[in-house]
């Protein structure tokens, strides 16, 4: 009881331990470590090309610091340095008009809209499938194997087919890309919701039975509330998968807009800085979307009285 | 061709014509098929419970008390014999909402406030808002939980949670209450208090109560009829009709009549045990 108050935990610790005690500390340390590794890797990977350049220009005895500085400032490096990516992102977001074809915000919004559409359809589909599977043995037995095997097909193989088939029947624009997001995002939602809808404790199911509750009543009053935390967790996975789907969906069409199109164009012209900035923006987008669902989860669980 | 038992039953029925038979169990057995082979949870159970009875099932753990109560509630199906509740099958009785069931654990829904938990069966029954509010208030009052309507289960102590679950069962306003060790996890003082409240409620309303316990004083204090069960296979060892007055308080536990009954229960439990060894 008392020994927790005897030694104050903050007095005799090293500054490093103090740094690691919050959440900001560890995150900062990890970010710094990643940046350091990135800079070193950039220098190492870009050195051969840089030395070719010196040779061609007849420069000899270049100082080491000069070499390093030059590897971090190439126009088309094998691996761009972090600050080059940051500058590129700055130039293509803040400095560009949103309507410009070179604006990353413009491209992001294209990808975002098919991500959200696909996610919405995928989540709805996932919930409906789960409800069917939980309530019907026949659906459980007949659908589940197909749902699982659907995810063993590599998305890169199936994406062009989906796009081509949908184009052939006259569906174009946002929807074909969104279909690929749907294809990737319905799965985690289905699996998570099946688990969630089946998770009520036996005693709670028995209670419903003693009330002679109908299946519909048991669903709304017991299964669904139980499944809510599962739903949010699987929606986070589904959202990230949706974004991947939307980007992948932009590759085979030779799309001219979207983050996927930026990646494609970047690799055509060896614009590695452009590729990396599109990648980083995609990662930021995914992180923000998942964080948004996390906030919705907190609010929902608090309103349900389940966040203590 | 009437057997002796049937004639006795008939006489019994004739004598008590004015009393309604609530539960009638006849040669009932229940065997669970498990991976380790069959478990004979109940074997050849004969039991009659009349309206207004307070019946306790007592016995060592694993003797089938919970299983028997669950059979009455249509939560388990017997493998042999017959049972009627209010003259119909347990399933029909359940569909008629003949009983309220109190589980060993409070089994409150964590996302519902206490009042909303009590409202759960009422919502399922499709009662009007006003009727729901009325029953919630009345039954929360009855179990001394007035003022805790807006709290969530995790904000309440174990005893209060169990009282909420009793209020939830009472709100259905059933004539038959099935209670599985409802006070098993509570401390002595709270348990005494709730026993007294339960007895008052029973005396006031002429409900029929079937009550599972493993406490001898609790069984003797509450019951008009004590059913002693013994295990492997689960069966009835003794049925003790209590002659204690219906109107009793905790002091009765010091009386010689009380101790006599308690003694007989203890003997039954002991004999049921040694039968095995
Ligand atoms: N669903 C079940 N499946 C298999 N065996 C069970 C099941 N429920 C209870 N039993 C067994 O039946 C016997 C009686 O159990 P129970 O009625 O819970 O006893 P009690 O309530 O008197 O402690 C025990 O041996 C128990 O293991
Ligand atoms: Mg039990």
Give residue A6's pLDDT: 44
pLDDT per residue of chain A (308 residues) written in tens, 0 to 9: 444 444 444 445 565 666 666 778 888 899 999 999 999 999 999 999 988 888 888 887 888 889 999 999 888 899 999 999 999 999 888 888 887 888 889 999 999 999 999 999 999 999 999 999 999 999 999 998 899 888 888 888 888 888 888 888 888 778 888 999 999 999 999 999 999 999 999 999 999 999 999 999 999 999 999 999 999 999 999 999 999 999 988 887 666 788 988 888 888 888 899 999 999 999 999 999 999 999 999 999 988 887 65
The pLDDT tens digits of the residues spanning A231-244 come to 999 999 999 999 99
Question: What pLDDT is recorded for position A9?
Answer: 47
Same domain, A154 and A276: yes
Chosen for mutation from A205, A206, A211, A228 (greatest number of chain B CBs closer than 10 Å) is A211
Is residue A143 domain-shared with residue A285, that is, in the same domain?
A: yes
Cβ neighbours of A225 in B, within 8 Å: 109, 111
Do residues A13 and A136 share a domain?
Answer: no
Interface ipTM: 0.87
Nearest CA in chain A to B155: A308
Domains with residue ranges and CATH for chain B = 20-98+176-277 (3.40.50.300), 108-173 (no CATH)
Instruction: Tell me the shortest Cα–Cα distance from B152 to chain A, in angstroms.
Output: 7
Q: pTM score, two decimals?
A: 0.82
Q: Measured between beta carbons, which residues in chain A are less than 8 angstroms from residue B121?
A: 211
Establish if A89 belongs to a structural domain.
no
Task: Say what the pLDDT of residue A7 is.
Answer: 44
A64 and A171 share one domain: no
- Whether chain A has a CB inside 8 Å of the CB on B88: the answer is no
Asked whether residue A216 is assigned to any structural domain, the reply reads yes
Q: Over the stretch A117-128, which tens digit does the pLDDT of each residue have?
A: 999 999 999 999
CA distance B100 to chain A (A): 8
Q: What string of DSSP letters covers chain A? A: -THHHHS-TTTT--HHHHHTTSSHHHHHHHHHHHHHHHHHHHHHHHHHHHHHHHHHTT--S--HHHHHHHHTS-SS-SS--HHHHHHHHHHHHTSS-TTSTT-HHHHHHHHHHHHHHHHHHHHHHHHHHHHHHHH-HHHHHHHHHHHHHHTTS-HHHHHHHHHHHHHHTT--THHHHHHHHHHHHHHHHHHHHHHHHT-S-HHHHHHHHHTT--HHHHIIIIIHHHHHHHHHHHHHHHHHHHHHHHHHHHTTTT-SSSHHHHHHHHHHTT-HHHHHHHHHHHHHHHHHHHHHHHHHHHHHHHHTT---
- Domain final residue pick, A42, A62, A79: A79
> Domain containing A270: what range?
104-303
Flag whether residue A224 sits within 8 Å of chain B, measured between CB atoms.
Answer: no
Q: Tell me the sheet residues that pair with B82.
A: B26
Tens-place pLDDT, residues B255-272: 988 999 999 999 888 887
Instruction: Tell whether A166 and A239 lie within a shared domain.
Output: yes
Task: Tell me which residues of chain B have a pLDDT lower than 50.
Answer: 275-277
Residue A230 lies in a domain: yes
Residue contact B124–A221, C-beta within 8 A: yes
Say which CATH number the domain at A283 has. 1.10.3720.10
Give residue A14's pLDDT. Answer: 60
Q: Which residues of A touch B124 (CB under 8 A)?
A: 208, 211-213, 217, 221
- Judge contact between A144 and A85, C-beta under 8 A: no
Task: Count up the domains in chain A and report the number.
Answer: 2
Is A70 found in the same domain as A175?
no
pLDDT of residue B277: 46
């Amino acid at each position: 009881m008392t020994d927790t108050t005897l030694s104050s935990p903050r007095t005799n610790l090293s500054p490093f331990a103090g740094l690691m005690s919050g959440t900001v500390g560890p995150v900062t340390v990890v970010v710094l470590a990643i940046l350091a590794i990135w800079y070193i890797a950039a220098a190492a990977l870009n050195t051969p090309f840089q030395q070719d350049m010196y040779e061609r220009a007849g420069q000899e005895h270049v100082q080491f610091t000069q070499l390093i500085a030059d590897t971090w400032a190439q126009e088309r490096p094998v691996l761009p340095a972090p600050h080059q990516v940051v500058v590129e992102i700055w130039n293509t977001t803040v400095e560009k008009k949103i309507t410009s074809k070179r604006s990353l915000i413009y491209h992001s919004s294209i990808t975002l809209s098919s991500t959200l559409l696909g996610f919405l359809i995928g989540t709805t589909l996932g919930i409906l499938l789960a409800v069917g599977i939980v309530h019907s043995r026949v659906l459980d037995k007949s659908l589940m194997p197909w749902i699982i095997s659907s995810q063993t097909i590599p998305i890169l193989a199936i994406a062009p087919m989906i796009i081509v088939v949908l184009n052939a029947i006259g569906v174009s624009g946002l929807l074909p890309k969104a279909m690929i997001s749907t294809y990737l995002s319905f799965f985690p939602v289905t699996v998570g919701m099946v688990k969630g809808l089946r998770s009520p404790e036996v005693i709670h199911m028995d209670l419903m039975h003693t009330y002679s509750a109908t299946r519909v009543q048991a669903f709304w009053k017991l299964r669904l509330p139980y499944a809510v935390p599962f739903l949010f967790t699987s929606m986070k996975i589904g959202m990230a998968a949706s974004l991947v789907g939307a980007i992948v969906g932009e590759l085979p069409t030779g799309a001219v807009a979207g983050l996927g199109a930026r990646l494609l164009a970047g690799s055509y012209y060896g614009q590695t800085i452009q590729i990396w900035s599109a990648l980083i923006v995609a990662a930021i987008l995914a992180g923000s979307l998942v964080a948004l669902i996390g906030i919705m989860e907190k609010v929902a669980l608090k309103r349900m009285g389940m966040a203590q | 061709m009437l057997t002796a038992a049937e004639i006795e039953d008939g006489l019994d029925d004739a004598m008590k014509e004015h009393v309604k038979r609530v539960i009638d169990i006849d040669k009932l057995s229940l065997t669970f098929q498990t991976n380790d082979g069959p478990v004979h949870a109940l074997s050849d159970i004969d039991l009659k419970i009349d309206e207004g009875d307070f019946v306790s099932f007592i016995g060592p753990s694993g003797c089938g008390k919970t299983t028997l109560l669950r059979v009455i509630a249509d939560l388990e199906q017997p493998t042999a014999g017959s049972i009627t509740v209010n003259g119909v099958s347990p399933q029909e009785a359940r569909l008629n909402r003949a009983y309220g069931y109190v589980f060993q654990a409070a089994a409150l829904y964590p996302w519902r406030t206490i009042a909303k938990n009590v409202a759960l069966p009422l919502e399922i029954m499709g009662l009007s808002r006003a009727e729901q509010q009325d029953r919630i208030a009345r039954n929360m009052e009855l179990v001394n939980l007035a003022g805790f309507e807006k709290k969530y289960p995790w904000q309440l102590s174990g005893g209060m949670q169990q009282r909420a679950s009793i209020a939830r069962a009472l709100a259905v306003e059933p004539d038959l209450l099935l209670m599985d060790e409802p006070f098993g996890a509570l401390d002595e003082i709270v348990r005494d208090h709730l026993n007294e409240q339960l007895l008052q409620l029973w005396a006031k309303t002429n409900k029929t109560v079937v009550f599972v316990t493993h406490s001898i004083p609790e069984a003797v204090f509450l019951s008009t009829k004590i059913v002693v069960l013994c295990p492997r296979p689960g069966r009835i060892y003794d049925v003790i009709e209590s002659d204690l007055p219906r109107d009793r308080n905790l002091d009765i536990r010091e009386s010689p009549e009380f101790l006599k009954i308690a003694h007989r229960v203890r003997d039954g439990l002991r004999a049921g045990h040694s039968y095995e060894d």
